[in-house]
Structure 1
Amino acid sequence: MALKSTIYKAELQIADMDRHYYSDHSLTVARHPSETDERMMVRLAAFAFFASERLELAKGLSDTDEPDLWEKDLTGAIQTWIEVGQPDDRRLAKASGRSEHVNVIAYGGRTSQIWWDGLRGKVERLRNVEVWSLAEGVGEALAQLAERTMRLQFTVQDGSAWLSSERADPIELQWTVLKARQRA
């Protein structure tokens, strides 16, 4: 018998002063049996970073044809494709061809840099792809916030971001941009 996903509920309050985006989101997160708390919480942080009224959690690990998050326009065309982790170059090329923007949020510190060093030459030509690497320890700190029912606050101001819950001190979400999207 296949293992089923575990359902988590997250109330996410976003105050992104840099983008002037302020909203509350009630999210139902299906955590795949092979997914860790760290990866699930990085997905939630990615949602907060790119939040909009049309951004949604996709099937991700459960379906190879879908990203972790995506935003579609009113016609169903994919505007933004968001991957969490360390996808391979074929997956990024496919995402680049199917969407207007592709964002990758890598985590894991040193392993992210090793992954990027091996991938860089293959994705540099993909103009609509942006790759971020979360700072060492951020993913582990986010995992400590994981609960079946969560109330989270996400704040961005002057290029700095924090995620906090009622039971923990804020976690500063630091990252490095490994590849910026090329503007037309």
Structure 2
Amino acid sequence: MALKATIYKADLNIANMDIHQYGDYQLTMALHPSETIERLMVRILAFARYASEQLEFTKDLFETDEPALWEKDLTGQLVHWIEVGCPDEDKVKKASARCKSVAVVAYGTAVEEWYKRNSKLKTLSNVEVWQLSPATTEAIQQLCERTMQLQLNVMDGEWTLIGDHAQAQIEWIQLQ
């Protein structure tokens, strides 16, 4: 019998004073049996970075030609493609041809090596690549619960994610 996904819910309140973005989002995510808590929480941070009413989680672990998140316009056309982790360079290249903008939120110990190996990414003008520090991904895992109340505060470039029992400083490193 196959293992089933575990459902996580997060009420995410964003107060980004740098770009004057404020909003409340009710997120429902499925944690695939092969997925880690670290990746689940990175998906939440990716959502927070690009938050909009049209941004949604996809079935990326089930459907290999989908990203972790995407945003479509009212006609159903892809506007924003967001990958989490260290995706295949060809997948990112295809996405950049289909969408206005593509983002990669990379994390883990192999990010620098992955970025060096995928030199074609640097030629894609509509692709941005962000890296989360290992300290960040370690800290955000402490905030994870099946039902989460999360507050994200952003001021002067400093990101703080606050949960019921802990908080985490989020360190973003822009690679591209």
TM-score scaled by length of structure 2 = 0.96
Overall identity of the aligned pairs, in %: 53
In the other structure, the counterpart of 1:94 is 94
1:176 aligns with 2:173: yes
The TM-score normalised by the length of structure 1 is 0.92
State the shift of 1:155 in Å.
1.1
Mapped partners of 1:91, 1:177: distance in 2? 20
Q: Which amino acid aligns with 2:41?
A: M
Q: Aligned partners of 1:63 and 1:140: how far apart in 2?
A: 27
What are the within-5 Å matches in structure 2 for residues 23-172 of structure 1?
A: 23-108=23-108, 110-119=109-118, 121-168=119-166, 170-172=167-169
Q: Deviations over 1:74-131 (max 9, x none)?
A: 11111111011000111101111121100101111x4111111111x22111111000
Give the Cα–Cα distance (whole angstroms) in 1 for the partners of residues 16 and 172 of structure 2. 16
CA distance in 2 between counterparts of 1:22 and 1:100 reads: 24
How many residues in Structure 1 have an aligned counterpart in Structure 2? 176
Q: Distance in 2 between matches of 1:126 and 1:111?
A: 21
SS for the counterpart of 1:138 is helix
CA distance in 2, matches of 1:92, 1:103: 9
Unaligned runs of 5+ in 1: 180-184
**Runs of 4+ displaced beyond 4 Å:** none
CA distance in 1, matches of 2:21, 2:72: 18
1:68 shift after superposition:
0.5
1:2 shift after superposition: 2.1
After superposition, give the CA deviation of every residue in 1:119-167 in whole Å (9 maximum; x if it has no partner).
1x22111111000111122112111111111000111111111111011
| In structure 2, C-alpha distance between the alignment counterparts of 1:32 and 1:2, rounded to whole Å | 11
Q: Is the 8 A contact 2:59 2:66 kept in 1?
A: yes
Q: Distance in 2 between matches of 1:132 and 1:17?
A: 20
**1:69 Cα deviation from its structure 2 partner:** 0.7
Q: RMSD over aligned Cα, in angstroms?
A: 1.0
One-letter code aligned to 2:174: V
Gaps of 5+ in 2: none
